[in-house]
Amino acid sequence: MYSQTNPVHQERWLPVEALEQNPRLLDDYPHRYVFVVTNSAHEMTDPTSRSRMVAARLFWAVEALEAQGWEPAAWDLDGTAVGVVMRRVGGGGTSYQLDNGGQWS
């Protein structure tokens, strides 16, 4: 059974802002993929400023995670959640699924 104590591990969703506060947040991450998103897209009304902030935060996150053995696998810059899917290099990590009881296994 998979431990559900860390919400990042459960959701596979990592806000850049959380990574900025703790760059080693994924050190014990058990999965191979994580979606890194930014809340910056909703913080500003000027589209040009918003685009620059989103790009700056996402590029920072990619560069920080590349140094820890991750690589970008896909980008979503037009969706509701703006972010990048990061993949652990070398195939480490495990894919867990929710069973019928809502538990990770």
Residue-wise pLDDT for 62-79, tens only, equals 999 999 999 999 998 777
Specify whether the CB–CB gap between 33 and 11 falls below 8 A.
Answer: no
* pTM for this predicted structure: 0.73
Structural domain spans, the chain: 16-88
Residue-wise pLDDT for 16-26, tens only, equals 989 999 988 88
Banded model confidence at residue 45, pLDDT cuts 50, 70, 90: low
Strands of the sheet with 83-88, listed across from one edge: 13-15, 33-37, 83-88, 70-76
Our measurement of the distance from residue 102's CA atom to the centroid of its chain's CA atoms, rounded to an integer in Å, reads 22
